[in-house]
């Protein structure tokens, strides 16, 4: 006869976990790297590109391992697209560093090693925050940024969805 004055605190029944689920690779694998800054061009037409590498097992991404080269303005483009189309609060980018682009500086301006490293870290933080966001993962612009060779600025914005495990 159970005493109603003392609560029953025994655990609720649950299904035992499948061992392949318990010890297998997790379904949330997503690794993003921004590295290998390279400055291309000469004189006033120089700019720096960074390698953006993504490894994942999320079905929403077509490629499970992709590498592209992107410059700062490409990141700015992505931020603007997401701010306009998605409902998420887009994290901040590292600064534009306009002062560094003015003439008559004593140093290399935006091509200073220390500055490039600081910017690389900021871009890596930015893309990590975005790529893992469930709502950002639905945006066409993010997929193009991460997995297409080059960004087509005349693309048609839209959503990406999973259908039966395949991205459409």
Partner 1 sequence: MSFFSFGQSAEIDIVLKDAETRKKVEHKTEDGKKDKYFLLYDGETVSGNVNVTLKNPGKRLEHQGIKMEFIGQIELYYDRGNHHEFVSLVKDLARPGELTQSQTFDFEFTHVEKPYESYTGQNVKLRYFLRATVSRRLNDISKEMDIVVHTLSTYPELNSSIKMEVGIEDCLHIEFEYNKSKYHLKDVIVGKIYFLLVRLKIRHMEIDIIKRETTGTGPNVYHENDTIAKYEIMDGAPVRGESIPIRLFLAGYEMTPTMRDINKKYSVRYYLNLVLIDEEERRYFKQQEITLWRKGDMVKKSMSHQAAIASQRFEGSSSAEKALAQAQAKEQEQ
Instruction: Indicate the residue among 22 and 156 with the shorter CB distance to partner 1.
Output: 22
Q: Which of 4, 41, 43, 106 binds partner 1 (CB under 8 A)?
A: 4
Least CB distance to partner 1 at residue 82 (A): 15
Q: Which position among 2, 7, 114, 152 is part of the footprint of partner 1 (CB under 8 A)?
A: 7
Judged by CB under 8 A, which stretch of 32-40, 62-70, 129-137, 146-154 contacts partner 1? 129-137
Give the burial string for 124-137 (b: 16+ CB within 10 Å, else e). Answer: bbbbbebbebeebb
Residues 12-51 that bind partner 1 (CB under 8 A): 12, 14-15, 17-18, 21-22, 24, 26-28, 30
Helix axes of 113-131 and 72-85: crossing angle, nearest 10 degrees: 30
Among 2, 9, 45, 154, binds partner 1 (CB under 8 A): 9
d(CA 157, CA 118): 31
Q: Which two tokens stand for residue 89?
A: 């609060």
Q: Which of residues 48-107 bind partner 1 (CB under 8 A)?
A: 58-60
Nearest CA-CA partner of 146 in 166, 167, 130: 130
Please give the DSSP secondary-structure letter assigned to residue 145. Answer: H
Using CA atoms, how far residue 46 sits from 71, 79, 107, in Å, is 11, 23, 15
Size of the site for partner 1 (CB under 8 A): 29
Tally Cβ neighbours within 10 Å of residue 106: 5
Task: Report the residue number, 9 or 45, with the smaller CB distance to partner 1.
Answer: 9
Judged by CB under 8 A, does residue 8 bind partner 1? yes
10 phi, psi to nearest 5 deg: -65, 150
Binding stretches for partner 1 (CB under 8 A): 4-5, 7-12, 14-15, 17-18, 21-22, 24, 26-28, 30, 58-60, 128-129, 132-134, 137, 162
């Amino acid at each position: 006869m159970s005493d109603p004055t003392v609560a029953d605190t025994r655990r609720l029944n649950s299904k035992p976990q499948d061992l392949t689920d318990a010890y297998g690779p997790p379904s949330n694998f997503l690794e993003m790297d921004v590295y290998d800054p390279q400055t291309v061009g000469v004189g006033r037409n120089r700019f720096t590109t960074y390698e953006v590498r993504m490894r994942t097992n999320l079905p929403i991404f077509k490629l499970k391992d992709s590498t592209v080269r992107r410059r700062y303005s490409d990141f700015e483009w992505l931020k603007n697209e997401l701010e306009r189309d998605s409902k998420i609060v887009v994290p901040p980018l590292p600064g534009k560093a306009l002062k560094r682009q003015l003439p008559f500086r004593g140093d290399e301006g935006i091509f200073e090693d220390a500055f490039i490293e600081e910017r690389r870290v900021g871009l890596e933080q930015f893309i990590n925050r975005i790529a893992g966001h469930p709502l950002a993962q639905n945006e066409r612009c993010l997929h193009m940024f991460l997995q297409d060779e080059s960004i087509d600025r005349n693309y048609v914005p839209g959503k990406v969805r999973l259908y039966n495990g395949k991205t459409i």
